[in-house]
Each structure stands twice: as structure tokens, then as C-alpha cells.
Amino acid sequence: MQLQSETFDAIVIGSGISGGWAAKELTERGLRVLMLERGQNIEHIKDYGNTLKAPWEYPHRGGRTLAMEEAYPVLKRDYPLNEKNLDWWASDKDSPYTEIKRFDWYRGYHVGGRSLLWGRQSYRHGDLDFGANAREGIAIDWPVRYKDIAPWYDHVERHAGISGSLEGLPQLPDGQFQPAMALNCVEEIIAGRVKSTFGGRRIIPGRVANLTQALPGRGACQYRNACWLGCPFGAYFSTQSSTLPPATATGRLTLKTFAIVTDLVYDRDRKRARSVRVLDAVTGQTTEYSARVIFLCASTLNSTWILMRSANDVWPGGLGSSSGELGHNLMDHHFRCGANGDFSGHEDRYVFGRRPTGFYIPRFRNLAGERRDYLRGFGYQGSASRQGWERAVAELGVGGAFKDAMAQPGPWRVGATAFGEMLPNHANRISIDTARVDKWGMPVLAIDCATGENERLMRRDMMNDMAEMLEAAGATNVSVYDNDYAPGMGIHEMGTARMGRDPKTSVLNGRNQVWDCQNVFVTDGSCMASSACQNPSLTYMALTARAAAFAVEELKRGNL
């Protein structure tokens, strides 16, 4: 064990969406910050190795091989396993975990984390969401309301750059948007018919962290829709494009890669975390770094893993476990069901450019006094588009006329997938599996998580409501689907260190401080007290920025 002589004001563990925001806010507010990242560096633009590669240059044209499936037994379960950005997904073999029940955990262990890979859909949570647990007596109340977070949504939206439309919907608050990426002509028609038929249902442009107007150092979207290879224009929000540059520009940021945090060192006299123990992923050496404030932004399950391994001499369950809730209430968004159909006509219309988003249908169930046989609700993400050559695999035909016909756009199709809220449930939990270690000898997580009756009941509406809207809008051959869902597939892991109002029932307070150790802040998805049905990353950004500002004030006041 080496003790690092250099000290920092703050240590940020993790460099993804939350860690990047913590580093930016803390350095800009004058702190000297050490950012620890367990994986390799990926430098903005320079290290986007495949972004300039032509599609036909990949031997398997982007597809998956048996060797890839063998190497990635978890990743292969859904779309992330592919030939084009495989290096940016964590190795299932190096970093295994135990599935007490099936849980798909898709991770990005490198600078930027999943901010390089995310779907970029960005929606605010409103009081419909922050107040839901209290209204319904589910789990515990959020310690914040929309008015507390709204200014921070403003703050992060302006910097990150979210394109979207102002809709004035109470269930989905508007924000500080750049111009939206418009609906296409068929989507417009469907949106109009759905609005006139169903009143409360809206089809709006997807709100997405892709710029439609340049920001300092970043270009506007060029409509390549190749985001997950890294954008050479910096047009979508990532740590690399958006939060790391200003943090670095302060001259107060130190980034250390290949730095696996094994635990926090707790000073029981001062009731503060004193330092962070780091295992060098390459050399195996352990080093201890001390700081006055620690931001845990290591991703939902990994931040809790670190807490569970810390201060075990005081709390056997780890730092922040005194409530008995650390590791519990794991959530995701359940999805993979919806409907689609054909939309005839409009064959003189097409789109130019590849829009990196689609439409969004904000939640409309269980609003305004409606009571379904389940709680909460769901939103949809979808699009209308003309079919490509892929339709040829389902058509009869051989020869030149067939080939030339398939090289022309086919009829319009429209479809959408629902993303549903998953209720917090104490029984959905993670723990440390001491019998199994990863490549670095660290004990791994065991995950025990399942959806329940509420989600099951909701899924019927998730399918049928979309079919009903498509039919009302004039689509034909409408069919519903439920492609089955396993927790984790949404890649929206949330909970396991929830915020709350009472240290007896929650891990974090209303400022994301660990109740039991107030110089440790957890601001990634671990903190969520409920999942809502909107994509959660924007909320992590806002909570992180808010907690960072608070931490700096508390330091100045001498409270930390």
C-alpha cells in the first residue's frame, strides 16, 4: 500500500455521465479534483477509431460471430453485441457477476463510461414522479420535489444541449431546449390523428442530447446517426464532448485511468471518509488517495458495491447500510413490447439525413384521476420510416427486377416500444458474492431482481394502447408484440442507495449525502427512490450538479 502524498479537495469515482458532471461542477467551483476511472482512456475524437470507417469495411458488416458470443455471454443477449463498438463494452469474462435471477448488465468501463454509448433520450421527471411514492404509499417519499431540481435541469440542459419541443405537458416538464429534430411527414399525420382522437395523448419529437445548434467547442448534429461510435463533431453529449473539456480547462482536474476503487477508508472518530483505496488495474499496486469530499459516480451497481465494501468494521453491511436499505430497491425500465403497423400512401415522401432520434409519447395512463389496475405508467419511443432493402428477406423474388425493386424505398412502417416504470421493491437487491472474484481478485456482485405483478399488468396496456393509437391513426396490419424482458435490459439500472427523508429508511439524504458519512455523495442512478418511466440520465446530471454545488458550499461553511 502506497499513500499518495498529493491530496485533493475532492475525488470523483467514475467518469460517465454523473462523474463527468461532478468533475465539471467541482473544478469550476474551485476544487482540485481527482477523477478515478477503472478502465482505459478514450480521447475525444482521436480515439473514436471506427467513426471514420465505412460500413463495408467490417468483415462481418457489423454483425456478430460465434466467437463474439462466446466472449460476451451477457452482452450477446441483446443488441449491444456487435462488431463496430465492441471495445467499448466491458468484458463479461473479466468482470463477471452472479445472477441469482437473470439480470442483464451492460457496462462501459472506460473514460466516459456509457455516456459514449447511451441512447441520449433526455426527459425531466416532474412532480408526478417525485411525489408518486408518497401519494401511493410505495417505498419511501423522495426528499425532493420538482421545484428543487428544476433549476438544475435548466443548468444541465443548457450545457449538455438537449433538442426538443415545448409542449406544456404537466406530466413531462419542458426544459431549456435547442430546436427539436422534427417529426417526419407520416409521424406528423399520426400525431395529429392521435391528438384529435385521444385528447391527452401526444406524439412529440424525441428529446435528445444531440445538438441542433453548435455550442462552444461542439458542432451541430450532421445526421449521420452513428453516435455510438463516438461523434467526430462532438454533437452528442458525452463526458468527452461536454463535461471533461471545461473541467480540464480549469487546470484543477487530475484524471487517473486503470484505477479500480476497492473501498473507501472511513475515519470513525471524525465520521468522515478519509480516503479512497485504488487498485491499479495494470500493475496490481494499491494506492490510497485522500480528499475532503468523495463523489461516488461509479454507476448504479458499482457505487453500491464500493459502499458495501467500506467501513465494514463499523457497519458489517458497509458504509451507508445502517438503514438496512443499501443494495435494495434495484429498478430498471421494463420494455420490449409495443405495436407496429403499415402506413399506406405517402410514397412521394421520404426523409433525407439520418435523424438520431424518433418520436416520444409521454405517459398518459393513471393521470387526471384515471385508475388502471396497475400503478404508474409508461411512455413510448418510436418512429415511422420507409422500409429498406431488409424487407427483401421476407419477400418472394429472384432476379434483376426484384433486386432493383428492393433498392427503392418500400412502404412506410410505424412502430413504437413502451418503456414502463418499475416499482421499487425491497426484495430486489444486490449483495456481494464472496465466493467468486473478478479478474482483479475482487469479489463480485450477486443480483437478485425480478419484475412483479404491477409490471405484468402494465405490459398489456403497453402493447394494446399503441395498437389502438396506430389503428386510430390509419395504420393497417397492426400487430402487437412482447419480446419478453429481463431486468437490466433497459440499461437504466436505478436504486440500491436510495435518497430519502429519514436515515432509518434511506441511504442518502436530499442532497445525495450518505446519511452515515456526510462527505460521501452518491449521485449516479443508485440514488433513485423511484424509476418513473422516462429515461433517467438527465436526472442524474441535474442531481449531480446540484449535489456538487451543495458540497462546495458545505466545504466553505466548514461542514465537511
Partner 1 sequence: MAISDPTSRREAMQRVTVLLGGVALIDGESVLAAMPDSAAQETAAAQGVGTFTAADVAFLDEIAETILPETNTPGAKAARTGAFMALMVTDAYTPRYQQIFRDGMRQMDEACQREYGASFIQARPEQRVALLQRLDAERQAELDALDALQRSRAPAPPPQAADAPVHYFRLMKELALVGYFTSEIGYRQAMRYIETPGRYDPCAPHKPGEKIWASHA
Residues 380-409 touching partner 1, rule: CB under 8 A, are: 386, 388-394, 396-400, 402-404, 406-409
Nearer of residues 184 and 428 to partner 1, judged by Cβ: 184
Burial class of residue 86 in the structure, from the number of CB atoms within 10 Å of its CB (0-12 exposed, 13-18 middle, 19+ buried): middle
Per CB under 8 A, the list member of 347, 373, 453, 553 interacting with partner 1 is: 347
Radius of gyration of the chain (CA): 23
Nearer of residues 210 and 300 to partner 1, judged by Cβ: 210
Place of cell 420510416: 385
The minimum distance between CB 44 and partner 1, in angstroms, equals 17
The full length of the chain comes to: 560
Within 10 Å of residue 134's Cβ, how many Cβ atoms? 16
Q: How far apart are CA 70 and CA 352, in angstroms?
A: 38
Q: Restricting to residues 133-152, which ones interact with partner 1 according to CB under 8 A?
A: none
Q: In sequence order, what E strands does 105-184 have?
A: 162-163, 177-178
Phi, psi of 5 (to 5 degrees): -75, -30
CA distances from 46 to 10, 20, 184, 462, 493 (A): 28, 19, 34, 42, 30
SS3 548: helix
Question: Which cell numbers hold the place of 158?
Answer: 443548457
Residues near partner 1 (CB under 8 A), total:
75
Q: Restricting to residues 412-471, which ones interact with partner 1 according to CB under 8 A?
A: 463
Nearer of residues 368 and 394 to partner 1, judged by Cβ: 394
Nearer of residues 205 and 488 to partner 1, judged by Cβ: 205
Nearer of residues 296 and 406 to partner 1, judged by Cβ: 406
- Please report whether residue 282 would count as binding partner 1 according to CB under 8 A: no
CB 440 within 8 A of CB 39: no
Per CB under 8 A, the list member of 271, 349, 372, 426 interacting with partner 1 is: 349
Nearer of residues 65 and 196 to partner 1, judged by Cβ: 65
The minimum distance between CB 162 and partner 1, in angstroms, equals 17
CA distances from 306 to 318, 444, 513, 522, 546 (A): 8, 11, 15, 11, 22
Nearer of residues 46 and 402 to partner 1, judged by Cβ: 402
Nearer of residues 11 and 235 to partner 1, judged by Cβ: 235
Per CB under 8 A, the list member of 85, 91, 115, 321 interacting with partner 1 is: 85
Q: How far apart are CA 32 and CA 21, in angstroms?
A: 15
Per CB under 8 A, the list member of 181, 273, 422, 489 interacting with partner 1 is: 181
- Please report whether residue 355 would count as binding partner 1 according to CB under 8 A: yes
Q: Restricting to residues 465-494, which ones interact with partner 1 according to CB under 8 A?
A: 479-482
Phi, psi of 274 (to 5 degrees): -95, -40
The minimum distance between CB 16 and partner 1, in angstroms, equals 20
Per CB under 8 A, the list member of 6, 269, 313, 348 interacting with partner 1 is: 348
How open is the CA angle 469-532-363, to the nearest 5 degrees? 20
The minimum distance between CB 399 and partner 1, in angstroms, equals 6
- Please report whether residue 351 would count as binding partner 1 according to CB under 8 A: yes
- From the centroid of its chain, how far is CA 470? 28
The minimum distance between CB 349 and partner 1, in angstroms, equals 6
- DSSP secondary-structure letter at 222? -
Question: Which cell numbers hold the place of 232?
Answer: 467526430
Q: Restricting to residues 211-230, which ones interact with partner 1 according to CB under 8 A?
A: 221-229
Nearer of residues 82 and 250 to partner 1, judged by Cβ: 82
- DSSP secondary-structure letter at 140? -
CA distances from 61 to 134, 224, 416 (A): 50, 17, 26
The minimum distance between CB 526 and partner 1, in angstroms, equals 29
The minimum distance between CB 402 and partner 1, in angstroms, equals 8
Q: Restricting to residues 32-61, which ones interact with partner 1 according to CB under 8 A?
A: 50-61
Q: Restricting to residues 327-346, which ones interact with partner 1 according to CB under 8 A?
A: 337
